[in-house]
Structure formats: structure tokens, C-alpha cells
């Protein structure tokens, strides 16, 4: 079977996580089955169109490696791939449905509909269009057309019987036709609605598997009625469960939930994001959690898709991101971290040492400025209580004695190198019969002004340099005097 999937986002803003997952699953399914992956821009909702959003879609997909086989920018045999450029395609199909009795022109005004909607609400009923205009005579319809009365074209949904469809995840679903509304197919401005355009486009582009969010599950019977009205083959359906912020709330960009770009800006790696998003509603069948995109393309299957909503756990994403950061080469870690070094005011410091002390501690790159703030500026109001540490057997008096010994010796060092600083401090501790921790704790506290730091006394001294290290050591001694 020839597999063709599509990702059809609307250019209405940033790429949110749910939308990214829809595209990812369609991409993975196509690649896993040796098929084609299409990109189609569904911009029929012109009121919500956001300038630059289409380019953002391109950029995001390319950034994560989801390259499409056909689309607006690269063309293909089934274009154009932007719905607004296909406007002339849809009306003839809608008129064909009118001729066959599967659709009709509706001249009701917005005011008419609002009045009926309010009346239904007052009765405690859900509003459903009452097919008022379907009963107009040919003469009445022609008179309105001649007078230029605006109209939409509605689907004529049967009022009796049932409609069934089969979803590859949820199985066969049957609904009563009496529960379905007469969808608008063509709006008054001549643009198709999503509900109509996606059916026409999916057929004309020979889409074999329609993968989309579960919010479209309830509309699928109406889509099938359209396929049947045209006598077209119905594609396979694969609906994805929602991604939840918590047990009660869906993840939603309208509610301010983070988009793909937001996470990238915070310092999450794109590889970790794609890996995590792939696991939101799909399971490989074992305990494995870390996958490259190529590996996902090989192992993804519909059988692993869940029927239950997925919870977006930022802590789990952060854990996964940390695994990816730890696996980076020193050069790649530094390349990602550089802008955060610059933000923290330490961009000039030794990159090899920064990588050594930070890479295994960094979960998300935007944590770096807070982790290294003491390197850029010492908080000189730190408490001398920090010098007291039971494990290192230090207190204010021990710390003062250590700093008295250390300062003149470090001042006299001919070279400010890791070996020279290390050997000087460790040998001094041995000569004085001290534990290494007893010697190093006061030195680190004096230079950092905080109890928890990435890196120890020697790395901090190297990063600060001789002059600043000695200035801070002397300030510490003065605090303890």
C-alpha cells in the first residue's frame, strides 16, 4: 500500500507542543512505512492568520529534522499546497454536492442564527441548524441570488440512521446522524471551511492515512458522509489523544502553555524535545526512553499509540534534556552554553574549565547564569557562618587560620596554573596535618561567597584569575578577623 501522510498546520502563531506532535507522528508513520510526508498550509481562517507564522512552521520543522517530500516551498505533483491558493478548487465540488442533494445554499444572516441559538439555549437545548434554507424553492433561491443576498453552502446531513467509521487506534465508532449538525462547507466570502477543504485536499492529494488530534473525532462522521457523497475512497484515520497540562486541563497555547520556541529559548535541546514529544502518546513497547529521530523513524508504529491522554511533565522533559546535555561533546556543550556565559558576564573565562564543572550539572542551559553568578560578581555580604562546615571540620577560627596560611603562598606562586594551585594547597594541608576538605572549604567559600557551587576551590581560582582570587581571599580573611 502506498502510504501518504500530511501535516496541515494553520499559520496562527507559534508551533505549540500538541501541533508539533501531530506533525511528528505523521512524519514518523510515513518514514516507518516507506511513504511520503506532505506539508500543507491550511490558511482558510484568515481572521486568525498571523504574519510570519508560515515561515515559522517551515523553520521549526527543518530545525528538528522533519523534512517534507512535498509542500509549498518545494512543490510536488499535487499542489498548490496552501489552501488559500486553492480557493477556486472547492466551489465546484460544493456545487456538485448541491446538485446531488448533499448540500444546499443557506441565506440566514448572523442575526437570524444568533436569535435561534439564544432560543435554543433558553430551552436548555444545544443549537443545531434547522435546515430552514434547504426548504426554499428554486424560485426563491434564484431570487436571492439575483438580488445578491450573501449565502453559505451547508452540508445536508441525514437526520435518520447512523454513520460509522474505523480508527486505527480506537476501533469502530458509530454515531446517530440526528446528533450531527449541517456544517458550513463554503463561507460567504467564498473560502472553504476547514471541515470541507481538508476532505477535498486529502482526496486530491491521495492522502492514505489522516493523522490528527482527537478533537476532530466527533467531526469524522460528517467527513465520511462527504466522501460517500462523492463516491471517494475513505482514508485510514489515526486520532491522537490530547496532551494534558494536568489531569483536568489540556495543554493549550491559548492558555499560555509553552511552545516549541519557548522551550528552545530556555535552553532545551531540540533533540531532547523531539524525543520527549514522541513519547507523549506512544510507547515503544519496552523501557527504552532515549531515541534519535532516525531511530524513531524505524520503530514508530500505530500499535504503540495510546488511547489515554498524555501528561506533559516538564520535570521529565528536563531530566531527558540533562541526558542529552551530558552526552554532548565539550565543543558542542560550549557552543550551546556560550550565550548563557555571555548573559552571566563570564564569556571571557576558560571554556574548558567551565565545561568541566558545568556540563554534568546542567539540566537546561538557562540554569547556567544562576549557577555561575558568583564568578561574575561576589556577593560581599555573605555570612561568615558559611565557613562553618561539620564535614570539613571548619569553623570561623579554622577558616581564618587557613586563609592566613594560604594567601601569602598563593601570592608567591610563579604560575597561576591548575597544577601549581592544586599542589600548593594539597601539600600545605599534608604538612599541617589537615584533611584536604579542611584546607579547601574556606578557600572556596571566600572566593565564591556561597556554600554550593559548580566546581571546587581550584577550578574557581583558575576561572577568577590570580588578582580577583586573592582579592576575594583577603576580603574573606577580613570578615573573619
* Tens place of pLDDT per residue across the chain (481 aa): 899 999 999 998 888 999 999 999 999 999 999 999 999 999 877 777 778 889 999 999 999 999 999 999 999 999 999 998 999 999 999 999 999 999 999 999 999 999 999 998 998 888 999 999 999 999 999 999 999 999 999 999 999 999 999 999 999 999 999 999 999 999 999 999 989 999 999 999 999 999 999 989 889 999 999 999 999 999 999 999 999 988 777 776 665 567 899 999 999 999 999 999 999 999 999 999 999 999 999 999 999 999 999 999 999 999 999 999 999 999 999 999 999 999 999 999 999 999 999 999 999 999 999 999 999 999 999 999 999 999 999 999 999 999 999 999 999 999 999 999 999 999 999 999 999 999 999 999 999 999 999 999 999 999 999 999 999 999 999 999 9
Of the CA atoms within 13 Å of residue 417, those in its CB half-sphere come to: 5
Per-residue DSSP letters for 200-214? HHHHHTT-SEEEEEG
Domain spans in the chain, listed from the N-terminal domain onward: 4-81+244-311, 84-240, 328-376, 384-480
Q: Which of 446, 474, 477 is nearest to 460 (CA)?
A: 446
CATH number of 4-81+244-311: 3.40.50.620
- State whether residue 37 is helix, strand or coil: strand
CA neighbor of 320 nearest in space, from 360, 286, 289: 289
Alpha-helix runs per DSSP H in 367-456: 368-371, 373-376, 396-411, 418-431, 436-448
Q: How far apart are CA 26 and CA 13, in angstroms?
A: 21
CA–CA separation, 35 and 80 (whole Å): 20
Strand (E) positions, 287-333?
Answer: 310-311
Peptide bond preceding 393 in cis form (omega within 30 of 0): no
Query: Which CATH architecture is the domain 384-480 placed in?
Result: Orthogonal Bundle (1.10)
Distance CA 196, CA 139 (A): 27
Residue 40 and residue 427: Cα distance in Å, rounded?
69
184-186 and 152-155 strand pairing: antiparallel
Can you name the CATH fold of 84-240? Rossmann fold (3.40.50)
Q: How far apart are the C-alpha atoms of 125 and 140, rounded to whole Å?
A: 30
Do the first three CATH levels of 4-81+244-311 and 84-240 match, i.e. the same topology? yes
User: How far is Cα 106 from Cα 397, in angstroms, rounded to an integer?
Assistant: 90
Q: What are phi and psi of 174, to 5 degrees?
A: -120, 135
Give start and end residues of each alpha helix (H) in 173-279.
194-204, 220-230, 260-266, 270-278
> Which residues are catalytic, by number?
253
CA 157 to chain centre: 37
Amino acid at each position: 500500500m502506498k502510504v501518504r501522510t500530511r501535516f496541515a498546520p494553520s499559520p496562527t502563531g507559534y508551533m505549540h507542543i500538541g501541533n508539533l506532535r501531530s506533525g511528528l507522528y505523521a512524519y514518523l508513520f510515513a518514514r516507518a512505512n516507506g511513504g511520503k510526508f506532505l506539508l500543507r498550509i491550511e490558511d482558510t481562517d484568515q481572521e486568525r492568520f498571523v504574519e510570519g507564522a508560515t515561515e515559522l512552521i517551515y523553520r521549526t520543522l527543518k530545525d528538528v529534522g522533519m523534512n517534507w517530500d512535498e509542500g509549498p516551498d518545494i512543490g510536488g505533483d499535487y499542489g498548490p499546497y496552501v489552501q488559500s491558493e486553492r480557493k477556486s478548487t472547492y466551489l465546484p465540488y460544493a456545487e456538485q454536492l448541491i446538485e446531488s442533494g448533499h448540500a444546499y445554499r443557506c441565506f440566514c444572516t448572523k442575526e437570524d442564527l444568533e436569535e435561534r441559538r439564544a432560543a435554543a439555549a433558553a430551552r436548555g437545548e444545544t443549537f443545531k441548524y434547522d435546515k430552514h434554507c434547504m426548504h426554499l424553492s428554486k424560485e426563491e433561491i434564484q431570487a436571492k441570488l439575483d438580488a445578491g443576498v450573501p449565502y453559505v453552502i451547508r452540508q445536508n446531513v441525514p437526520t435518520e440512521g447512523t454513520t460509522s467509521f474505523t480508527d486505527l487506534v480506537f476501533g469502530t465508532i458509530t454515531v446517530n446522524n440526528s446528533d450531527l449538525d449541517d456544517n458550513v462547507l463554503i463561507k460567504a466570502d467564498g473560502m472553504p471551511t476547514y471541515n470541507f477543504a481538508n476532505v477535498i485536499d486529502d482526496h486530491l492529494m491521495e492522502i492514505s492515512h489522516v493523522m490528527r488530534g482527537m478533537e476532530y473525532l466527533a467531526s469524522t462522521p460528517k467527513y465520511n458522509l462527504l466522501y460517500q457523497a462523492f463516491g471517494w475512497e475513505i482514508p485510514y484515520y489515526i486520532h491522537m489523544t490530547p496532551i494534558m497540562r494536568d489531569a483536568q486541563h489540556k495543554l493549550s497555547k491559548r492558555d499560555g502553555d509553552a511552545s516549541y520556541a519557548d522551550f528552545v529559548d530556555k535552553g532545551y535541546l531540540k533533540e531532547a524535545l523531539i524525543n520527549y514529544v514522541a513519547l507523549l502518546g506512544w510507547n515503544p513497547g519496552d523501557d527504552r526512553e532515549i531515541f534519535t529521530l532516525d531511530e524513531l523513524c524505524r520503530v514508530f508504529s500505530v500499535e504503540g499509540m495510546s488511547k489515554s491522554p498524555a501528561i506533559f511533565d516538564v520535570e521529565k522533559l528536563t531530566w531527558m534534556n540533562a541526558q542529552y546535555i551530558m552526552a554532548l561533546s565539550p565543543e558542542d556543550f560550549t557552543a550551546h552554553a556560550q550565550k548563557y556565559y555571555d548573559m552571566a558576564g563570564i564569556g571571557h573565562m576558560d571554556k574548558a574549565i567551565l565545561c568541566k564543572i558545568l556540563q554534568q550539572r546542567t539540566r537546561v542551559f538557562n540554569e547556567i547564569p544562576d549557577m555561575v553568578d558568583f564568578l561574575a560578581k561576589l556577593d560581599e555580604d555573605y555570612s561568615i557562618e558559611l565557613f562553618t562546615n561539620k564535614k570539613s571540620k571548619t569553623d570561623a577560627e579554622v577558616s581564618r587560620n587557613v586563609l592566613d596560611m594560604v594567601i601569602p603562598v598563593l601570592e608567591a606562586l610563579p604560575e597561576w596554573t591548575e597544577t601549581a594551585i592544586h599542589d600548593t594547597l594539597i601539600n600545605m594541608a599534608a604538612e599541617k596535618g589537615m584533611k584536604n576538605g579542611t584546607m579547601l572549604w574556606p578557600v572556596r567559600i571566600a572566593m565564591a561567597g556561597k556554600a554550593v557551587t559548580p566546581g571546587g576551590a581550584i577550578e574557581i581560582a583558575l576561572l577568577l584569575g590570580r588578582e580577583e582570587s586573592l582579592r576575594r581571599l583577603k576580603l574573606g580573611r577580613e570578615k573573619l578577623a
